[in-house]
Amino acid sequence: MLPEREFFPAFTKKRWMLSSPSVLPKSGTSVPERPLKPPLKPRRGTLEMDVASAAETGVFFLFAAITLGGALGLIFAQRVAHSMLSLIFCFMAVSGIFILLGAEFLAAIQILVYLASVGLVVLFGIMLTRRQILEEDFE
């Protein structure tokens, strides 16, 4: 049995390969060079991933534009019913963004709480308030 100090270096892979007779060059020949690695092939599926990420980015920007348009429509609408419709578009687009982010629960809460509850309360508030009819409206 080998002493403890010599046991580990004698059986490492590198030392074993270098001392193996099949690896050592024959006398009078040079050490063979390693063959070059073949060039890397492009990964499969990268085009599909690029198309999918571009489509997802496009849908995100569509939802963002609908959200901004709904918010601006809410601010600048002349009638309260039109501003309520803009608010509904804004809330739906925000729930779409939540779905894109993978937060389906937040999207469901957005639809249930804001669209159903707050939207209906504001809609009933609009319907139940009296509007003053002025002579200017008929002209």
Q: For residue 134, is it within any domain?
A: no
Q: For residue 136, is it within any domain?
A: no
Q: For residue 9, is it within any domain?
A: no
Q: What is the mean pLDDT of the chain?
A: 75
Q: For residue 36, is it within any domain?
A: no
pLDDT of residue 78 exceeding 70:
yes
Residue in 10, 16, 17 with CA at minimum distance from that of residue 1: 10
pTM for this prediction: 0.56
Q: For residue 33, is it within any domain?
A: no
Q: For residue 24, is it within any domain?
A: no
Q: What band does 50 get if pLDDT is binned at 50, 70 and 90?
A: confident
More confident residue, 32 or 64: 64
Report how many domains make up the chain: 1
More confident residue, 1 or 130: 130
Segment 37-53 shows an average pLDDT of 68
Candidate from 39-48, 73-82, 83-92, 108-117 with smallest mean pLDDT: 39-48
How long is the chain?
A: 139
In terms of residue numbers, what domain contains 67?
Answer: 52-128
Segment 86-102 shows an average pLDDT of 92
Q: What is the pLDDT of residues 113-131, one digit of tens each?
A: 887 887 788 778 877 876 6
Residue 72: CATH number of its domain: 1.20.120.1200
Q: For residue 91, is it within any domain?
A: yes
Q: For residue 62, is it within any domain?
A: yes
